[in-house]
C-alpha cells in the first residue's frame, strides 16, 4: 500500500486530496508548512510527495532542495497555481518529477501519481472494460460493442471515473470533484447534464441512477 505525503496549507484542497487518494487505496499524511514537510520526509518512509510551492515557513522550492540534499529519492509532484514556464522549469530542474498547475482535475493528478509509482516491469492498464463498454486510455476512444463513440474531454473523464469504479455508486459530489476538480460549485447540475450526454452516446441503460445516492455503471451493461 503506497504512502503519500501531502505538503499543502489550503485545508479544502487537503481534504479533497485525502478523500480522493484514500478512496483509491493510498495512505495519506498531510502537513501544512515547510519545516514539518522536511522533517516528515526525512523521518518516514513515503512513496511519493505532493508539494505545494507556497508553503509557510519554508517554500516548496526550499523543501524540495532539502529533500534532495538528504538523498530522498521518492517522486515529488509539485502542485502550484504558478503557471509561468520559468516556475515549472525551476521546479523540474530542482528535482521535482512532475508539475501540476492548480486548479486541476483529480483524475489527471491520479494518473500522474500512478505513473510515478508504477513499478518497473509493471504494465499499466490501458483499456478499461465493463460489459460491452471499452475505453482506450491511449487513443482516447470509447466503444460499445463494435460501435465507436466520440466523446468530449469531460465525457471521456467521467466515463473513465465510472470504469475505474465498477460496481460502486458515485455521488454527484464525487463526480464533480473527480471530473471538474476541487474548485467546483457543489450546487451545479452539470453532473446530471453530462450523465445525460453519456446515456445518449453509449445507450440509456449503461449508466444507472441510484435514487438519493448518485450514479453507477449498470450491472447488466453488455
What's the CA gap between 135 and 33, in Å, rounded? 40
For residues 222 and 101, the model is more confident at: 101
Q: Check pLDDT > 60 for residue 67.
A: yes
Please write down the HEC assignment for all residues of 78-122.
Answer: EEECCCCHHHHHHHHHCCCCEEEECCCCHHHHHHHHHHHHCCCCC
- For the stretch 146-181, pLDDT in tens is 999 999 988 998 999 899 888 889 998 888 888 887
What's the CA gap between 11 and 9, in Å, rounded? 6
Domains and CATH numbers, the chain: 3-117 (3.40.50.2300), 127-217 (1.10.10.10)
* Distance between first and last Cα of the chain: 33
User: What pLDDT, on a 0 to 100 scale, did the predictor assign at position 142?
Assistant: 94
The DSSP secondary-structure symbol of 204 reads: T
User: What pLDDT, on a 0 to 100 scale, did the predictor assign at position 183?
Assistant: 65
* Residues of the chain above pLDDT 70, percent: 94
User: What pLDDT, on a 0 to 100 scale, did the predictor assign at position 222?
Assistant: 40
Amino acid at each position: 500500500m503506497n504512502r503519500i505525503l501531502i505538503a499543502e496549507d489550503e485545508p479544502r484542497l487537503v481534504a479533497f486530496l485525502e478523500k480522493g487518494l484514500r478512496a483509491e487505496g493510498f495512505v495519506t499524511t498531510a502537513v501544512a508548512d515547510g519545516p514539518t514537510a522536511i522533517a516528515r520526509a526525512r523521518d518516514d518512509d513515503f512513496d511519493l510527495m505532493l508539494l505545494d510551492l507556497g508553503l509557510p515557513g519554508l517554500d516548496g522550492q526550499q523543501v524540495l532542495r532539502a529533500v534532495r540534499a538528504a538523498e530522498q529519492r521518492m517522486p515529488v509532484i509539485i502542485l502550484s497555481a504558478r503557471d509561468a514556464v520559468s516556475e515549472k522549469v525551476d521546479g523540474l530542474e530542482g528535482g521535482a518529477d512532475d508539475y501540476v498547475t492548480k486548479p486541476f482535475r483529480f483524475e489527471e493528478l491520479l494518473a500522474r501519481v500512478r505513473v510515478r509509482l508504477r513499478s518497473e516491469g509493471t504494465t499499466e492498464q490501458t483499456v478499461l472494460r465493463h460489459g460491452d463498454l471499452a475505453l482506450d486510455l491511449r487513443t482516447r476512444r470509447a466503444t460499445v460493442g463494435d460501435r465507436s463513440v466520440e466523446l468530449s474531454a469531460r465525457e471521456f473523464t467521467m466515463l473513465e471515473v465510472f470504469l475505474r469504479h465498477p460496481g460502486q455508486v458515485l455521488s454527484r459530489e464525487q463526480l464533480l470533484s473527480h471530473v471538474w476538480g476541487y474548485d467546483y460549485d457543489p450546487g451545479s447540475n452539470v453532473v446530471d447534464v453530462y450523465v445525460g450526454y453519456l446515456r445518449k452516446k453509449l445507450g440509456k441503460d449503461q449508466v444507472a441512477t441510484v435514487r438519493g445516492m448518485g450514479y453507477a455503471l449498470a450491472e447488466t451493461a453488455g
